[in-house]
Every structure is written in structure tokens, then in C-alpha cells.
């Protein structure tokens, strides 16, 4: 049986209450907490650090062990790319987790879609009006078990630990800025990922300077369903269409049955 201990002091610092009642049996590598840089343009006054990061890349199997203890630790693990910046430089802009509750996937999608007078990509068959969120997928296996396998695909990276109740909230709480040119705030993107957690068994596993990787346990398995999901991806991250197949139909073919969704912004 694993022996659970109180969180290490440097990790407990992430919580306003000092991590009271939270435990962890996994021995963590050396690392440090990340505070927002006071000189960063999007900085808001912070009362505690945003997240913890390991000094060096770690074996991807550690992600699964830490995710399994999320219920006890309150820490969501994430495999981080591009560790020199922005993480070590504090170029982050954390947003209150409560802010995520002010958004939902349906409204976000409709607002973004309505903002495109002439879509830059072929959005056949939807045209001028947003189709709204796609129906849920059918779970193929346990989302957390699948997430562990998908994390192994990412290979060794630095490890981040973020104090959140669910993985989707990581983006806003850690102050990720990778899609800022597309959407001014990160909270709406966390709201969309929350919806994907609920409808598609998605789990946030990897974050880079301007990239995201999600495991997906209930992906669309028909072209029609995948096409609807592709419309959501178009509003969430236009680059994967514009710099990819150029059409929703082409993207739908790529994600049909896929257990990993990858996004990048420029």
C-alpha cells in the first residue's frame, strides 16, 4: 500500500490554505514554483504561485501516477514543452478558476463563428451559422487509463503540477497564453475543454508555449459526427484547419476515431 504524506512545502505553497488535508505518495523530482512576472504585460497581482515545474524532463509514466492521486493531492499533472520560456520567465497570466464558470462551449462557439464575416477556410456544410456543439461520443475505454497511454506518446518532458479540481481548468489557472492572439482570455478555452471532458472523455495531458494535447476516450467514429466536432475545433483553434487540410471535411477525416487531439496556434 502506498504511504501518503502531506504535500512537500514547495508544492503546498500553490494552495491558499497551504495544502491542508492534501496528500501525495509519489516522490517528486527537484523543481520549483512559478510566479507571474510582475513586469509581464498581462500580469495580475498574485497571492500564490501559479504552478510547480520540475527542473528536468521526467519519464512519462510519472504523469499517470500523479493523475491517479489527483483526488488526494488536488494537483493535475501536465507534460510541458518549451521549458525555457514562458514557464521559467513567469510570462503567464493566471485567471481565477471561478471565471471559467462565466463561459460555456455553445456561447463561445457561436460568438467566434459570428465574428468571421468571411471564414478563411472552407466550412462546408455549415456556412454562415454555427452548428453549435456536437453530440457526445461513446466511451471506448476509461478516460484516465487511456490518458496515461497517450501521455507516453509525448515522451519525456518537464512536469507541471497545477492546483485545479479538473484538468481543463489548468489552462486558465496556470496562466497559459498560447492562444492569446485568437482569444483575449484563457478562461473561455478552459470552458470548452471542460465540455470536451464531459462529452468526449477528454483529458489534458500536454501543454507547450502555443500547443495543447488532449487524450480522447470517446472520439467521433463516423464522418458526420467528426465533421460536427471539426466545426468546434475550427472555433477553438483555426490554425489546425488553415495550416492543415484547409477544410472542415479534411479535418474531420483526420480526427475520426482518433484518441489524441493536438492543437497549435501562431
pLDDT tens-digit map of 172-200: 999 998 887 777 789 999 999 999 999 99
pLDDT at position 172, please? Answer: 95
Q: Percent of the chain beyond pLDDT 70?
A: 93
Closest by CA position to 111, among listed 132, 95, 136 = 132
State mean pLDDT over 201-223.
Answer: 97
Closest by CA position to 184, among listed 99, 88, 80 = 99
**Long-range Cβ pairs for the range 31-39 (8 Å, 24+):** 31/55, 31/159, 34/87, 34/88, 34/90, 34/92, 34/174, 35/90, 36/90, 36/92, 36/93, 36/94, 36/175, 37/89, 37/90, 37/91, 37/92
Check whether 1 has a pLDDT greater than 50.
no
Check whether 166 has a pLDDT greater than 60.
yes
Q: Percent of the chain beyond pLDDT 90?
A: 75
State mean pLDDT over 83-97.
Answer: 82
Average pLDDT taken over every residue of the chain: 91
pLDDT at position 174, please? Answer: 94
pLDDT at position 44, please? Answer: 64
Q: Tens digit of pLDDT for each residue in 126-141?
A: 877 889 999 999 999 9
Q: Tens digit of pLDDT for each residue in 33-82?
A: 999 887 766 556 778 899 999 999 999 999 999 999 999 999 999 999 87
Strand partners, 122: 247
Amino acid at each position: 500500500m502506498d504511504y501518503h504524506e502531506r504535500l512537500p512545502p514547495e508544492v503546498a505553497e500553490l494552495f491558499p490554505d497551504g495544502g491542508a488535508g492534501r496528500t501525495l505518495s509519489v516522490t517528486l523530482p527537484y523543481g520549483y514554483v512559478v510566479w507571474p512576472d510582475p513586469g509581464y504585460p498581462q500580469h495580475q497581482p498574485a497571492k500564490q504561485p501559479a504552478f510547480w515545474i520540475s527542473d528536468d524532463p521526467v519519464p512519462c509514466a510519472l504523469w499517470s501516477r500523479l493523475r491517479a492521486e489527483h483526488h488526494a493531492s488536488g494537483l493535475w499533472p501536465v507534460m510541458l514543452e518549451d521549458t525555457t520560456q514562458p514557464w521559467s520567465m513567469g510570462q503567464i497570466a493566471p485567471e481565477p478558476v471561478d471565471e471559467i464558470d462565466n463561459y460555456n462551449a455553445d456561447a463561445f462557439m457561436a460568438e467566434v463563428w459570428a465574428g468571421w464575416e468571411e471564414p478563411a477556410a472552407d466550412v462546408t456544410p455549415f456556412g454562415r451559422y454555427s452548428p453549435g456543439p456536437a453530440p457526445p461520443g461513446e466511451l471506448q475505454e476509461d478516460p484516465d487509463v487511456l490518458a496515461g497511454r497517450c501521455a507516453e506518446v509525448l515522451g519525456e518532458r518537464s512536469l507541471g503540477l497545477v492546483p485545479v479540481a479538473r484538468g481543463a481548468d489548468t489552462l486558465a489557472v496556470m496562466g497559459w497564453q498560447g492562444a492569446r492572439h485568437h482569444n483575449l482570455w484563457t478562461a473561455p478555452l478552459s470552458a470548452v475543454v471542460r465540455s470536451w471532458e464531459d462529452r468526449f472523455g477528454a483529458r489534458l495531458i500536454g501543454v507547450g508555449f502555443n500547443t495543447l494535447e488532449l487524450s480522447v476516450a470517446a472520439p467521433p467514429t463516423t464522418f458526420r459526427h467528426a465533421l460536427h466536432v471539426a466545426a468546434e475545433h475550427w472555433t477553438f483553434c483555426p490554425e489546425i484547419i488553415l495550416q492543415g487540410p484547409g477544410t472542415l471535411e479534411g479535418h474531420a477525416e483526420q480526427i475520426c476515431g482518433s484518441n489524441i487531439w493536438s492543437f497549435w496556434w501562431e
